[in-house]
């Protein structure tokens, strides 16, 4: 069992969740006559996953642990991890669209009422952010590159020997994404920018900021025929905010190194500042995302102490 876990890198339960996710997607597509799947654009993703798995398999087969250098082991872990991320988040995106196709009543009024109950004025915040266009422009980069940032940080953590931190990051991101798509389908929302859009906001931000997802959102809720594919499409989850979960987990993963922690905090902080605007999120979405993150981190730490993850992947010492 220890050898199998070493090969898999991540706990078998995570791979089981990947398989379950795939089964749910396949069954859903099979039983819903409105939904079909187009494989036309699956080539790039399939090729990337195949290359990663081939690299991992080659290292595992040709370099036994007794003769495997630390660099080779880390390369294997990176390959498996990147393959896991690709498969996991393609599935998450498909599941996001499937849950949104349920077309539950819009939750904008409910979400906005929670903001107001907490004394938060989304519209005032949007007007304030509009006074700092340079800050918003800077924030567009981390906001639009969240998944790419995760990949870079995962690779960096593995290269620097922070294997457990890398595993923790991927595990929590995946579980956070599953929770997000599971909840968000019951609370679909057009987004705060759509809810509050007026001439003032249009003059500050233009017609597309915070509403870029609306065509896909409307289509998946109202179309009689829904064609899913692997082309990059906008996320449709509003409550909770997955950008919040990802941003906080990025910072959490870098907590062992002060310089990386500060850099990650600036990067994620800029993203979170712009999340209500660029993502059109209500503040209750961000609060919910924060609560999910804290709960996941606490749960992961707890199961770690309970020895749920008894095998730790450790790179062998270099062969002299």
Instruction: Please list, residue by residue across 284-301, b when 16 or more beta carbons sit within 10 angstroms of its beta carbon and e when fewer do.
Output: bbbbbbbebbeebbeebe
pTM, rounded to two decimals: 0.91
Phi, psi torsion values for 38, nearest 5 degrees:
-110, 115
Rounded CA-CA distance 48/19 in Å is 19
CB neighbour burial string for 89-114, b if at least 16 within 10 angstroms, e if fewer: bbbbbbbbbbbbbeeeebbbeebbeb
Tell me what pLDDT residue 233 has. Answer: 78
pLDDT for the residue numbered 264: 95
Question: How far apart are the C-alpha atoms of 299 and 283, rounded to whole Å?
Answer: 24
pLDDT, mean of each 10-residue run, the chain (320 residues): 66 91 93 84 83 93 86 94 93 94 95 97 96 92 92 94 93 96 95 94 90 90 85 86 97 94 95 94 98 96 60 42
- Report how far apart, in Å, the C-alpha atoms of 232 and of each of 42, 89, 138, 291 are: 11, 11, 22, 28
pLDDT of residue 304: 65
Q: Alpha-carbon distance 20 to 262, whole Å?
A: 37
* Cβ neighbours of residue 171 closer than 8 Å, sequence gap 6 or more: 10, 11, 14, 300
* Predicted local distance difference test score (pLDDT) of residue 8: 80
């Amino acid at each position: 069992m220890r050898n199998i876990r070493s090969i898999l890198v991540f706990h078998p339960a995570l791979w089981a969740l990947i398989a379950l996710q795939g089964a749910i997607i396949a069954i859903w597509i099979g039983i819903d006559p409105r939904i079909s799947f187009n494989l036309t654009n699956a080539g790039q993703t399939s090729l990337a996953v195949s290359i990663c798995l081939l690299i991992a398999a080659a290292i595992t087969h040709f370099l036994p642990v007794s003769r495997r250098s630390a660099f080779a082991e880390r390369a294997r872990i990176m390959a498996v991890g990147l393959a896991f991320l690709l498969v996991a988040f393609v599935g998450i995106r498909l599941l996001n669209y499937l849950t949104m196709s349920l077309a539950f009543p819009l939750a904008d009024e409910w979400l906005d009422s929670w903001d107001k109950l907490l004394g938060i004025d989304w519209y005032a915040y949007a007007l304030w952010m509009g006074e700092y266009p340079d800050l918003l422009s800077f924030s567009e980069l981390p906001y639009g590159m969240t998944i790419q940032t995760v990949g870079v940080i995962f690779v960096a953590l593995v290269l620097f020997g922070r294997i457990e931190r890398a595993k923790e990051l991927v595990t929590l991101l995946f579980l956070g994404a599953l929770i997000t798509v599971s909840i968000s389908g019951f609370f679909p929302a057009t987004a705060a920018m759509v809810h509050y859009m007026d001439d003032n906001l249009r003059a500050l931000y233009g017609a597309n900021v915070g509403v870029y997802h609306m065509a896909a959102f409307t289509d998946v809720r109202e179309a009689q025929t829904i064609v899913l594919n692997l082309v990059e499409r906008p996320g449709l989850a509003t409550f909770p905010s997955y950008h919040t979960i990802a941003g906080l987990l990025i910072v959490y993963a870098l907590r062992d190194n002060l310089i990386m922690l500060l850099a990650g905090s600036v990067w994620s902080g800029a993203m979170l500042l712009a999340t209500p605007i660029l993502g059109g999120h209500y503040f209750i979405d961000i609060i919910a995302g924060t609560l999910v993150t804290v709960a996941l981190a606490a749960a992961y730490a707890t199961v770690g102490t309970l020895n749920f993850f008894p095998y730790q992947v450790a790179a062998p010492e270099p062969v002299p």
